[in-house]
Amino acid sequence: MENLFLQPVDLTKLLYVLLLVAVITVVFALLIVLVSKVCAVKVDEKEEAVKENLAGANCGGCGYAGCADFAKALAEGKAELSACGPTPNENKAKIAEILGVEFVAGEEKFAVVACSGGINAKNKYDYVGNEGCSAQIAFIGGQKFCEDGCLGGGSCMTACPYNAIHVKDGVAYTDRSMCEACGVCVKKCPKGLVHLIPKSAHVYIACSSHCKGKTVMDMCKKGCIGCGLCAKNCPHGAITMVDNVAVIDYSKCNGCLTCVAKCPRKCIKEI
Amino acid sequence: MDFLVILSTMISALFINNFVVSQFLGICPFLGVSKDTKSAFGMGVAVTFVMTLTCLITYPIYTYILVPLGLEFLEIIVFIFIIAAIVQMIEMALKKFSPTLYNAMGIYLPLITTNCAVLGVAELVIDHEQMAGLIGLANASQMNMGYAVLYGLFAGLGFTLAIVIMSGLREKVARLPINKHLKGFPIAMIAACFIAMAFFVFALI
């Protein structure tokens, strides 16, 4: 093998190397500058500024392909700022300033699953097959007797970009600390069981069944039977019974937890 | 150019010496962008495009500039530089002249800049001895730029073929009830292994 270190320095070759690299560098640099001048595309400054203030999570909760797409729609006035969950309020205020619109601070929210059935709810049949709620629902409306029950197929879990939903005992649960209120799961759930509620909320109703009490009793151990005890006992009148299921008005609730204690089915849950 | 050699170049680049599954180049996009068929196909088209252009530009630069000057050892640094510059320029040109195409493959283009499959094809086509063996030329001196560009094009198409098969498999596998520990990436690796084994059959015949 040749000794690389003891060879005489070939100055002409070294010169060639330097020249060649320099020429290629300069030529391509000039070419790139030329191309970028010729192909300059006008970038909307407003759009860029909006994009910088968005959360940048690209979760798709707003219904656009990502934050860049949403920023474009915002700049063109096609989208509402409130469609975005993850962006914090102070950034939203900045964006509103850039866009020149009035900013109304929306309440920070998070998602809850309004069902506590799962293994407590009776099955019509044992489902074996493709994962995901939409596949299961094609089979006579899913395996649960309850029409408004969580199927436990985990469609919301796989859709959640923040890993904030888990299926436990056949029913989906949300993790309050991880949830960014993007709303992807709300759109994904075929039964419409996931709701966004204010972050300041103290309780939520973990059932969506509109059936009569007797029917719910037969189908599920945890479902709301529409007895109305919570509505009668709430000291602030925050709970009303709508179509056999309790509904909370969060603007009136102050978190006394009377309803949690009174509910005979334990389907009002403390957060 | 001989018709038979052209045919064997196609078959060699597409199946026998497929860049991903036989030469193991370009594995990162193969595993990273193969979750759904649509984006896999976009990536494949972008790679094909860049590979063909790379061969078209690096081959004459090597043959007519580096070899006469005796500077063959500079090939890698020059090739990387040229590929990066080309990709940059293509991206800008696409943005201006074809926003639709830019939206379809724009995000994949910067990823390709440092892709080993692209550098691999540029390095391979300048090696006349090896290329003659690969595409079935009787004599290494018969190798020319036409074959180089053709090989680049079909190597890119071979990459597209592999990544589309992979994404199709992964889409199917994602819907199957799979053991928790194998879900996601592990099963994708196993699927890739089976594709590579299937392509190995081409090397045997």
Give DSSP secondary structure letters for chain A: ---SSSSPP-HHHHHHHHHHHHHHHHHHHHHHHHHHHHT--PPPHHHHHHHHHS------TTSSSSHHHHHHHHHTT-S-GGG-SSS-HHHHHHHHHHHT-----PPPEEEEE----GGGBPBSS---SSSSHHHHHTTTT-SBSSTTS-----HHHHH-TT--EEEETTEEEE-TTT-----HHHHH-TT--EEEEETT--EEE-----S-HHHHHHHBSS------HHHHH-TT--EEEETTEEEE-TTT-----HHHHH-TT--EEE-
CA A263 to centroid of chain Cα atoms = 30
For residue A14, tell me if it sits in a domain. no
Identify all chain B residues contacting A39, using CB atoms and an 8 Å cutoff.
92-93, 95-97
Domain that holds residue A68: 45-99
Would you state the pLDDT for residue A236? 86
Which residue on chain B is closest to A155 by alpha carbon? B175
Would you state the pLDDT for residue B1? 67
Would you state the pLDDT for residue B166? 93
Point out the residues of chain B with pLDDT beneath 70.
1, 104-107
Identify all chain A residues contacting B83, using CB atoms and an 8 Å cutoff.
none
Structure tokens at B39: 């984006």
Cβ distance B89 to A132 less than 8 Å, yes or no, reads: no
Distance from CA of B132 to the nearest CA of A (A): 28
DSSP string of chain B, one letter each residue: --HHHHHHHHHIIIIIT-TTTTT--SHHHHHHS-SSHHHHHHHHHHHHHHHHHHHHHHHHHIIIIIHHHT-GGGHHHHHHHHHHHHHHHHHHHHHHH-HHHHHHHTTTHHHHTT-HHHHHHHHHHT-HHHHHHHHT-S-GGG--HHHHHHHHHHHHHHHHHHHHHHHHHHHHHHTS---GGGTTHHHHHHHHHHHHHHHHHHHH-
Residues A257 and A139 in one domain: yes
A38 has a chain B CB within 8 A of its CB: yes
Would you state the pLDDT for residue B193? 92
Q: Which of A60, A76, A99 is the last residue of a domain?
A: A99
Residue A53 sits in a domain whose CATH number is 1.10.15.40
Residues A177 and A249 in one domain: yes
Structure tokens at A230: 């919570």
Which residues in B have their CB inside 8 Å of a CB on A? 65-66, 69-71, 74, 77-78, 81-82, 85, 88-89, 92-93, 95-97, 175-177
Residues A50 and A118 in one domain: no
Cα angle A125, A129, A130 (rounded to 5 degrees) comes to: 130
Q: Which of A99, A123, A139 is the last residue of a domain?
A: A99
Residues A62 and A85 in one domain: yes
Residues A172 and A71 in one domain: no
Token look-up 């888990």 returns: A166
Phi, psi of A211 (to 5 degrees): -75, 165
Residues A219 and A244 in one domain: yes
Residues A162 and A222 in one domain: yes
Residues A55 and A115 in one domain: no
Would you state the pLDDT for residue A5? 66
Lowest pLDDT segment from A57-66, A232-241, B31-40, B162-171: A57-66
Would you state the pLDDT for residue A53? 82
Find out whether B21 and B199 touch, Cβ atoms under 8 Å.
Answer: yes
Would you state the pLDDT for residue B106? 63
According to DSSP, the residues that pair with A79 across neighbouring strands are none
For residue A37, tell me if it sits in a domain. no
Average pLDDT, chain A: 84
Distance from CA of B9 to the nearest CA of A (A): 31
Would you state the pLDDT for residue A54? 84
Residues A163 and A192 in one domain: yes
A43 has a chain B CB within 8 A of its CB: no
Find out whether B1 and B146 touch, Cβ atoms under 8 Å.
Answer: yes
- Distance separating alpha carbons of residues A113 and A166, to the nearest angstrom: 11
Distance from CA of B24 to the nearest CA of A (A): 30
Identify all chain B residues contacting A131, using CB atoms and an 8 Å cutoff.
175, 177
- Distance separating alpha carbons of residues A219 and A216, to the nearest angstrom: 5
For residues A104-112, give the mean pLDDT. Answer: 79
For residue A27, tell me if it sits in a domain. no
Query: What is the ipTM score, two decimals?
Result: 0.71
Q: Which long-range contacts link A96-100 to residues 24+ away (Cβ below 8 Å)? A: A98/A46, A98/A49, A98/A50, A98/A53, A99/A46, A99/A50, A99/A74, A99/A75
The count of residues in chain B is 205
Which residue on chain B is closest to A42 by alpha carbon? B96
Cβ distance A20 to B175 less than 8 Å, yes or no, reads: no
For residue A178, tell me if it sits in a domain. yes
Q: Which of A23, A24, A25, A26 is the best substitution to test chain B (most B C-beta atoms within 10 A)? A: A24
What's the total number of domains in chain A?
Answer: 2
* Burial class, B121, CB count within 10 angstroms (exposed 0-12 / middle 13-18 / buried 19+): buried
For residue A236, tell me if it sits in a domain. yes
Find out whether B1 and B147 touch, Cβ atoms under 8 Å.
Answer: yes
Residue A248 sits in a domain whose CATH number is 3.30.70.20
For residue A13, tell me if it sits in a domain. no
Would you state the pLDDT for residue A66? 79
Residues A91 and A137 in one domain: no
For residue A3, tell me if it sits in a domain. no
| Partner residue opposite A36 with nearest CB, options B66, B69, B92 | B92
pLDDT surpassing 70 at residue A56: yes
Q: Which of A99, A118, A137 is the last residue of a domain?
A: A99
Cβ distance B92 to A39 less than 8 Å, yes or no, reads: yes
Q: Which residues contact B116 (CB under 8 A, 6 or more apart)?
A: B25, B26
Residues A65 and A123 in one domain: no
Cβ distance B93 to A36 less than 8 Å, yes or no, reads: no
For residues A36-57, give the mean pLDDT. Answer: 79
For residue A139, tell me if it sits in a domain. yes
Cβ distance B89 to A25 less than 8 Å, yes or no, reads: no
Find out whether B170 and B188 touch, Cβ atoms under 8 Å.
Answer: yes
Structure tokens at A264: 């005979």
Residues A88 and A126 in one domain: no
pTM: 0.61
- Distance separating alpha carbons of residues B204 and B170, to the nearest angstrom: 27
Identify all chain A residues contacting B39, using CB atoms and an 8 Å cutoff.
none
